[in-house]
Amino acid sequence: MSGSHRRDGLRIASMVHRISGLALALFLPLHFYVLGLALNGAAELDTFLRWTDNPLVKIAETGLVGLLSLHLFGGLRLLALEFLPWSPRQKLYAALAASASVFVSLGFFLSAV
């Protein structure tokens, strides 16, 4: 039974990484749509950008940055697991990755307010 807590934490980290990747993939069509607005003319893009001043959109952007940083740091954790020697501190590394993600998204939110 020793080490089962470690597997549970890493399973959660793995699921968070997968879910954040899926959420980012779902965001991509909206991102491409906005890029298309920029190609169609400044007026359409300006209308959309005014809509993004909405506080709910700012909160959603913060969530998006959080997902991106979770996915980034989770990916770095996976690379470390693949290429570095095994270490009993892997649970700590997963917690540090999650903490760094929260720090990045809060930094983004505070700069956007």
State how many domains the chain has.
1
The per-residue pLDDT of the chain, averaged, comes to 83
What whole-number percentage of the chain has pLDDT above 70? 90
Band of the pLDDT at 3, cuts 50, 70, 90? low
18 is a domain residue: yes
47 is a domain residue: no
**Tokens encoding 99:** 């903490």
Q: Is the dihedral of CA 28, 30, 36, 42 positive or negative?
A: negative
* Domain span including residue 63: 4-24+55-112
38 is a domain residue: no
User: How much is the pLDDT for 88?
Assistant: 65
96 is a domain residue: yes
54 Rama sector, left if φ>0, alpha if ψ -120 to 50, beta otherwise:
beta
Residue 45 · residue 37 · CB < 8 Å: yes
**Tokens encoding 69:** 């940083």
Task: Give φ, ψ of 89 to 5 degrees.
Answer: -90, 15
User: How much is the pLDDT for 1?
Assistant: 46
Tens-place pLDDT, residues 96-108: 888 888 888 888 8
Tens-place pLDDT, residues 28-68: 988 888 888 888 888 888 888 899 889 999 899 888 898 88
User: How much is the pLDDT for 97?
Assistant: 83
